[in-house]
Chain A
Amino acid sequence: MFYLTTGIQMMLHNRVRLLLTMLGVAIAFFLVAAQSGLLIGWINTCTAIVRHAEADLWVMAEKAPAFDYGTAIPRQCLSQARSVPGVVWSEGLFIGWNIWHRQDGKRVNVQLVGLDKRCLGGPWQMQEGEVSCVLQPNTVIVDDLYRSALGFERVGQEFEMIGRHARIGGVSSGVRTLSACPFVFTSLKQAIQYDQRYRDDEITYVMARCAADADPVAVQHEMQRRMPRMEVLTTAEFATRTALYWMLETGVGITVVVTACLGLAVSIGITSQTLYAITQEHLSNYATLLALGFRRGTLVRMVLVQSLLLGLAGVLGGSALFFPAAMLSARTPIPLETTPLVYAVLIIVSLASCGVAALMSVRTIFHIDPVKVFHS
């Protein structure tokens, strides 16, 4: 393992350069982690209601591109879904765009969500009040994140949505929106009254829950067979469709992925440049070691150790920046989120990119002529 200590000592020979490189690699890792964190945060945000609704199946108008863009379907789909063997319950859900009139006269576009009797598809974290308050007349729930956007201060305040009163009956926590139009939750009945484009016998979605012993896919197929003019998706399929819409159709995801790739490229560039500079600076030392009987493989291991250590320093430094940033962003409309699997992949990709960065230096090692040592 002497190549390990020698590789480290070689790097430590120029500490200022090492420190600057570690800083650069750490910032590059943070950039990649932050971009992936944004991506995960956005995917979680745009699929949150779908995932938290506790439903197994969703019935919707054909080719609904995303949860936010569902269109009207007949209310009778509810009973049709309920009649499919294996279905325990089914509930309706409404979603539509609306206008929130603030008390200062400003208007804000919102996404109105109408909840059925069980209030499924509603907020999953409440700061004040109960979710069931939406069943009271003219009562809505808004999220704490959008206090300033919606101009509210407390429960009980009254606003208007297209000429109808809306009293704040509860405040949710962490129910974000990707469209920049805050969610406003109310009952299904009131939502249709607020919207005016829906008839009383229309809803946007039917959510259905399967029995524990039923196969959701089999139930899905049967439901689809019985409602051929509707589209029946599992929760996972609907969440994926919604995420793909926001990430691909709107260009949001592409931008984030491209920025993450740029971060990775910057990381490779910085590491590559530094490793190459270190190798060039120590060419005569490498030539000496070769002349003294060291194998090229040993010298290559020294370079790889250096690249891995730079990578690790980048991961540690970048993580030291990322996790506090993620904590700080947790209560903002744009959260940085990650999962153990994604973070592990990021670390592996980052270390692998450092390995790639070492290629030029490794190539140099293979071209060193030990006879050089006599001409130094």
Chain B
Amino acid sequence: MKPVVEACDLSKHYGSGEAEERVLEKVSLRLSEGEACVLLGPSGSGKTTLLSILGCLLTPSGGELRLLGQPVDFSRASSLPEWRRTTLGFVFQHAQLLPFVPVLGNLHLVGRNAGLDEETLTKRVDALLEQLGLAAMKHKKPGALSGGQRQRVAIARALLHRPAVLLADEPTAALDWHTGQVVADMLVEQSRNSGAALLVVTHDTRLVPKFDRVFHMENGSLREVTTHSS
């Protein structure tokens, strides 16, 4: 399978001298298309920092990141939104939908920003809402939805522009067990269908069996625990 994420010796330090805090230490990672991976680890181990760097939201102190074979130039801050707009998709812990626009508006806004034409956008939105069981909710504002429904909308939003990489930060943490299972299943299924590489950060080890590969992070170092698919 074609690698879509290639991280080589990524590190992140804050401060300098004696006050220096090393959050990431030479982390290397390779994710291929269609792969569903989970990243476990205690709080403060550097999971979110790694996710932020992979999502082109945070500049690493060292190392290299390649997306779709292309190096990400972190020194050119203006190029980073382009990666996020076209290549990356995000699902956040609390969905982070815009509360003042309905479901449809949330999806259209992101689709238009990604440069999708109206016809393509409408088709994709309809298809995703149908697949995620949200067709009846499209005119409702996020405040009128349950936590699980909001997270499904967030998944639709993340997949709308067909990103090569889907990054999810604790997507089930704010949901009850059953809803969390449903959302995690949808996330894995949808990313597989779209061919996106999925990396989910979670504390919930019960979700692990759903993923192809499992990574564990501790004290800024990453190791792969097991590979189900191999």
Contact = CB atoms under 8 A, between A and B. Distances in A.
With most chain A CB atoms within 10 A of its CB, the pick from B51, B86, B112 is B112
Contacts of A2: 108-109, 112-113
Interface in A355-376: 370-371, 373-376
Contacts of B109: 2, 6
Interface residues of B, number: 31
Interface string B87-104: 010101110101111000
Interface of A: 2, 6, 9-10, 12-13, 284-285, 288-295, 298, 370-371, 373-376
Contacts, number: 70
B101 A292 contact: no
8 contacts: A9-B100, A289-B98, A291-B55, A292-B84, A293-B86, A294-B113, A374-B51, A376-B96
B93 A291 contact: no
A175 to B, nearest CB: 57
Contacts of B84: 291-293
By Cβ-Cβ distance, the 6 closest A-B pairs, closest first, are A293-B85, A293-B84, A13-B100, A288-B96, A2-B112, A9-B100
A291 B57 CA distance: 7
Nearest to A13: B100
Nearest to B94: A376
Nearest to B95: A288
A290 B57 CA distance: 9
A354 B206 CA distance: 53
A12 B100 contact: yes
B81 interface: yes
With most chain A CB atoms within 10 A of its CB, the pick from B48, B83, B108, B113 is B113
Contact of B101 (A6, A294, A376): A6
A257 B105 CA distance: 46
Contacts of A298: 113
Contacts of B157: 292
B127 interface: no
Contacts of B90: 291-292, 373
